Amino acid sequence: MWFKNLQIYRLPVAWGMTAEQLIAALSPHAFVPPTASELLRQGWDAPRPAGELVHTVNRQLLLCLSTEKKLLPATVINQVAKARAVEMEDAQGFAPGKKAMKELKERVADEMLPRAFSIASSTFVWIDPVNGWLVVDAASPSRADEVIKLLLKAVDKLPLESLRVQRSPVGVMTEWLHADEAPAGFTVDMDATLRATGESKAAVRYIKHSLDPVEVRRHIDAGKQCTRLAMTWDSKISFVLDETLAIKSIKPLDVLQEKESSTKDESERFDGDFMLMTGELAKMLADLVEALGGEAKA
């Protein structure tokens, strides 16, 4: 299994909490499916079927936040409530007021909730206590913040910080493109976004398109900066780095996928994939932080 997106946080290196202690902390917040009258439930779940709340491979920890949300569109509630309001007007001779309409919508929602469809989703968290990484597989910072909020609620005094680097990702990515030179160990791929800093917010997007150095340099000289850049690390992993220091669209390349397919048993393959992923991503993150000037110190 490979994470597709990385929202990156820092833990102290050699963080001392064991998997057993983490399981004990998460257990009171374990996932329980919502009742018929509940719209949303979230909680910690086993990453592997019939497993523990913390899955451990080679000192690397994997967590899973499960979410089940019922679909109850406001348009449907409003439609039913409006029909009920017409019936009330016919029966009582006048239309329901603002307060009565609000109460009517609430009653309609309560009645429809037990019959609403549910959508289940899972968000995975990788904790590397050896190198001090905590990574959420989420495309948006808001989703990662939601996961972290629930983790902090479960784990008292978790010493967690956002990753901070010495140099702005926007400034460094712009420099790489202007010089037509990627940092050591990386190559620049064929996706990028250049955005103007002024009021116009003009943007140029390259999607699977060769980044012509002369053309790109002309955009940069006109005031645009790189806010999104596709790269490959060590000929093993391709990804997109954005202006918030999030890493997206991660894809292991052929050299790693060949290693993944060497084991046939599902459980062994999962553990092998996880060990391979965490080992390679830890090295990639260290190289990327170095390319961005190193970590910013408090």
- Dmax over CA atoms of the chain, in Å, equals 78
Q: Which of 92, 121, 118, 108 minimizes the C-alpha distance to 31?
A: 121
Q: How many helices (H) and strands (E) does the chain have?
A: 8, 12
For the cut 70, the answer to whether the pLDDT of residue 197 exceeds it is: yes
What does the alpha-carbon distance between residue 278 and residue 132 come to, in Å, rounded to a whole number?
A: 12
pLDDT digits (tens, 9 = 90+) for 70-110: 777 777 777 777 777 777 777 787 777 788 778 777 776 77
User: Tell me, what's the pLDDT at 37?
Assistant: 72
Q: What are phi and psi of 64, to 5 degrees?
A: -140, 120
CA separation, residue 223 to residues 57, 156, 254 (Å): 47, 46, 38
Q: Are the CB atoms for 11 and 5 separated by under 8 Å?
A: no
What does the alpha-carbon distance between residue 78 and residue 72 come to, in Å, rounded to a whole number?
A: 11
Question: What percent of the chain has pLDDT above 90?
Answer: 67
**Where along the chain do its domains lie?**
7-70+118-162, 74-114, 169-291
For the cut 90, the answer to whether the pLDDT of residue 5 exceeds it is: yes
Tell me the H-state helices in the chain.
Answer: 19-26, 74-92, 98-112, 141-154, 169-179, 213-221, 254-260, 266-291
For the cut 60, the answer to whether the pLDDT of residue 11 exceeds it is: yes
What does the alpha-carbon distance between residue 7 and residue 285 come to, in Å, rounded to a whole number?
A: 11
User: Tell me, what's the pLDDT at 257?
Assistant: 66
User: Tell me, what's the pLDDT at 83?
Assistant: 74
What does the alpha-carbon distance between residue 124 and residue 135 come to, in Å, rounded to a whole number?
A: 9
> The pTM is what?
0.85
Q: What are phi and psi of 176, to 5 degrees?
A: -60, -45
Q: Which whole number is the average pLDDT over 208-222? A: 93
Q: Are the CB atoms for 199 and 218 separated by under 8 Å?
A: no
User: Tell me, what's the pLDDT at 141?
Assistant: 93
End-to-end CA distance of the chain: 35
Q: Are the CB atoms for 148 and 9 separated by under 8 Å?
A: yes
Structure tokens at 258: 């060949």
Question: Three-state SS across 94-121?
Answer: CCCCHHHHHHHHHHHHHHHHHHCEEEEE
Q: Which whole number is the average pLDDT over 21-43? A: 90
